[in-house]
């Protein structure tokens, strides 16, 4: 870190990402982050009171990177809900593919960290489910999606859509995201889901 530059949380999180990229989560310590910044570990602890707090903060930051783009799709009421749902799922796959392809070391490190910090991962999933739910609620409101049976509860329906598309966003399936035709596979799943969601 250049001399005289103020040390802030964002700078520390960026340095933590670089340390994770180089050393992986097992060897990335607060001392390593401080060394990369050219400061004492005490300076890092002023912003993050523990290694756990630092790891959780960097995990939350990584998980939320694509959040705003997805939220914009989910909230775009100019687009009909079926097209919005398809676009949202396609954008999530594209974002996951980019993370896994462009920075595989960091993607692998975050897979470990997300598993360790289940509250960060749980909050991330809850946010995604809320976005899906908003799309489904709009579809029920405009008469596109059914509002009876299993679809009567938009929260349950959002979870079902999320679970049905896990192959396209769960890191456990990352190796499949490079397969030729993965986008077409997602499109086919979307067609089936939208058929099931459609109001009769």
Regarding whether 192 and 97 lie in a shared domain, the answer is yes
CATH number of residue 55's parent domain? 1.10.10.60
What percent of the chain lies above the pLDDT cut of 90? Answer: 64
Q: Are residues 76 and 24 in the same domain?
A: no
Rounded to the nearest angstrom, the gap between the alpha carbon of residue 187 and the centroid of all alpha carbons in its chain is: 20
Average pLDDT for residues 160-176, to the nearest whole number?
A: 95
32, 115: one domain? no
Considering the domain architecture, whether residues 99 and 32 belong to the same structural domain is answered as no
**Burial status of residue 126 (CB atoms within 10 A of its CB: 0-12, 13-18, 19 or more):** exposed
CA–CA gap between residue 131 and residue 87 (Å, rounded):
12
Do residues 83 and 100 share a domain?
yes
pTM of the model: 0.86
Percent of the chain with pLDDT over 70: 95
Phi, psi of 153 (to 5 degrees): -105, 105
102 in the same domain as 27: no
- Does residue 2 lie within any of the structural domains? no
- Domain match, 42 and 70 both: no
pLDDT, tens digit (0-9, with 9 covering 90-100), for 82-123:
999 999 999 999 999 999 998 888 888 777 777 776 688 889
Which structural domain, as residue segments, surrounds residue 71? Answer: 64-197
Regarding predicted confidence, which is higher, 20 or 70?
70
Instruction: Identify the pLDDT of residue 39.
Output: 94
Residue 54's pLDDT band, with cuts at 50, 70 and 90, is confident
Q: Do both 26 and 96 map to the same domain?
A: no
């Amino acid at each position: 870190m250049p001399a005289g530059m103020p040390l802030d949380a964002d700078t520390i999180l960026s340095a933590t990402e670089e340390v994770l990229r180089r050393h992986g989560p097992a060897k990335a310590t607060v001392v390593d982050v401080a060394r990369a910044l050219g400061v004492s570990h005490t300076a890092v602890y002023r912003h993050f009171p523990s290694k756990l707090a630092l790891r959780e903060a960097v995990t939350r930051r990584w998980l939320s990177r694509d959040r705003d783009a997805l939220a914009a799709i989910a909230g775009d009421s100019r687009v009909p809900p079926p097209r919005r749902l398809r676009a949202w799922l396609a954008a999530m796959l594209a974002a996951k593919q980019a993370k896994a392809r462009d920075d595989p070391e960091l993607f692998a490190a975050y897979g470990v960290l997300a598993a360790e910090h289940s509250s960060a991962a749980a909050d991330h999933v809850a946010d995604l489910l809320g976005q899906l739910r908003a799309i489904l609620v709009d579809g029920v409101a405009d008469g596109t999606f059914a509002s009876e049976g299993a679809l009567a509860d938009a929260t349950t329906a959002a979870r079902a859509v999320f679970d049905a598309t896990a192959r396209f966003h769960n890191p456990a399936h990352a190796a499949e995201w490079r397969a030729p035709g993965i986008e077409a596979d997602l499109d086919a799943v979307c067609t089936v889901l939208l058929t099931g969601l459609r109001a009769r």
